[in-house]
Amino acid sequence: MTVPRIPQEGLKAIACLAMLTDHIGAAFFPESLLLRCIGRLAFPIYCFLIAEGSHYTKDPGKYALRLTLLALLSEVPFELAFYGGYTQYRQNVMLTLLTGFLALETMKQCPNFLLKVAAAVPFVLMGGYLRSDYGYRGVMLIVLFGLTRQLPYWHLLQIMGMAAIFGPMASAELLHIGSFTLKMQQLALLAMIPIALYSGEKRTKNKAVQWGFNLFYPVHLAIIALIKIL
């Protein structure tokens, strides 16, 4: 039996739908853990795609500029959707993705593994300082995907790394069995299933499709914010 493989557009669609479900839950049904649990799939997939994008892009400057524009477009809708107005304590996730991308581009200039890790440290610290969604943990996950993408047993290394990054993260507790506690954020590990099925191919170069995926984040936040205002 052949296991179906998922193209890049499929991964993006899964991430978008999971994120939309999560944000609907956060904005309108905060008591529903089910919606938030589904949403845990989104962020690791986006981090994985950032690592893939950094590896294959022929124009890092253009890629970084696109992420910067999306971060700027998303900030006001993000704050209105989840905080009802300006907050200095949290910025949108595009800033995390941008910081992680810049870390990977800097790491490309380093000749060995240890120097790559050292080069990533300032960007991890920046992720915490900027207080963007997922903060320094998010930047660490992007760096993890970048460092391990061509190593033997990369799936296992990424699962272990993700468990270490997200394990201590504060989130709702879903299950208690003796001394074992399953936290909602730990469900992010399930994102490794579609990531492991990634085919590495892009099915279309249609600019409308690409920009549709790019603009999904700020547009759906703007719609959520508008509904809440109305």
Q: Is the pLDDT of residue 17 over 90?
A: yes
Helix locations, the chain, DSSP H: 8-28, 33-39, 42-56, 60-83, 93-107, 113-130, 135-148, 154-166, 192-196, 207-229
Residues in the chain: 230
Express each pLDDT in 118-143 by its tens digit: 999 999 999 999 999 999 999 999 99
Handedness of CA 159, 165, 171, 175 (dihedral sign): positive
Q: What is the mean pLDDT of residues 99-108?
A: 97
Cβ neighbourhood burial of 169 (10 Å; 0-12, 13-18, 19+): middle
What was the pLDDT predicted at 175? 67
Express each pLDDT in 35-61 by its tens digit: 999 999 999 999 999 999 999 999 999
Q: What is the mean pLDDT of residues 95-120?
A: 96
What was the pLDDT predicted at 183? 86
Averaged pLDDT of the chain: 92
Q: What is the mean pLDDT of residues 28-36?
A: 92
